[in-house]
Amino acid sequence: MKRSTLLALPPADLARSVVALGEKPFRAKQLWRWFYQRYETDFDAMTDLSKPARALFKERYHPLLPQQVRVEASRRDPSRKFLFRFADGESAEAVFMAHEDRTTLCLSTQTGCPLGCAFCLTGRRPGRNLTPDELVGQFLSLVRGMAGERVNVVFMGMGEPLLNVEHLAAALPFLYETVSPKRVTVSTAGVLKGIAALGRVRPLPRLALSLNAGTDATRRALMPVHTYTMRELFEAMLAYPRKPGERITLEYVLIKGVNDTDAELGALFDLLKPHRRVFKVNLIPYNAVPDLPYEEPEEARVDAVGRMLARREITVTVRRSLGRDIRAACGQLAGEGLGPP
């Protein structure tokens, strides 16, 4: 018998699926709690379901989660990279990052990325959009056994989230059962229509922009999605709804000799100067990718750039990527080993 999925179904649809199997509607509420509050997808573990109900759901709907094909643990930091394979053979990677005070899950929204940013390995795979149940399945795979623990979720893995904004918006309510919207961040390379569309989602997740340049010419060379002007991009970001005092994160991957020059950073400052209370900058030293002609800047240069922005009253942090030794860092995910190239 062909199995479908119960994940990412709105409550009414979940109830209809349960009733269609001959079970009572209240079973849907039980399943909802197990899935999205207790992070449990093994029907055998759902002890408040009768044994016949467990057997029925297991026969009709198991497995619910994508196949976990490979897990790689960093030897340098507490991060792990997961490779998932979906029903059609496509694959995507997600990263689990444990910090002293929090856990962050970096999830993918596509099985590749069509944007083709020059410095990013993911952009070398075209891929497809992940469906709502695949998005939720990634999340539940990573948080199993963590019910009650605080987690942050960032959609910064494989793919451009705002090219999949409809499915992303459909998946968010299931995460919001246990994760506050203020701890969910969606990162975009700058899809203007997608920024506007995400701004209509309620509750709103936080927004981050992968900027990576101070001038139109440099950004266009690095990121083909940049077919407009910097000022148009900033206008779209400034229009994104946010709470008083809430800032939008600008991610700036520092690439030696490309976007870390005084001229490029001076142009960045000119853009930020009128909006210093709106944006904050995350400096990310470039993570090397084989066969790409870019280099990581020296540590002294990274520190100098951070000090320069801070002197100009720009809120800035330097983000040291985790998982570099297992190619789990920013720009290194590629779903290698499975699925169409």
Catalytic residues: 93, 330
Q: Which two tokens stand for residue 328?
A: 């789990």
210 backbone φψ class: left, alpha, beta (φ>0; ψ -120 to 50)? beta
Q: Two tokens at 217?
A: 């010419």
What would the two tokens of residue 140 be? 């539940």
Q: Please report, in angstroms and rounded to a whole number, the separation of the first and last CA atoms in the chain.
A: 30
Cα 156 to Cα 153: distance, rounded to the nearest angstrom: 9
Which secondary structure element, helix H or strand E, spans residue 254, and what is its range? strand 248-254
Neighbouring CB atoms inside 10 A of 226's CB total 23
Q: Which residue has the tokens 């002007």?
A: 229
Dihedral pair phi/psi, residue 95, rounded to 5°: -130, 135
Cα 236 to Cα 231: distance, rounded to the nearest angstrom: 9
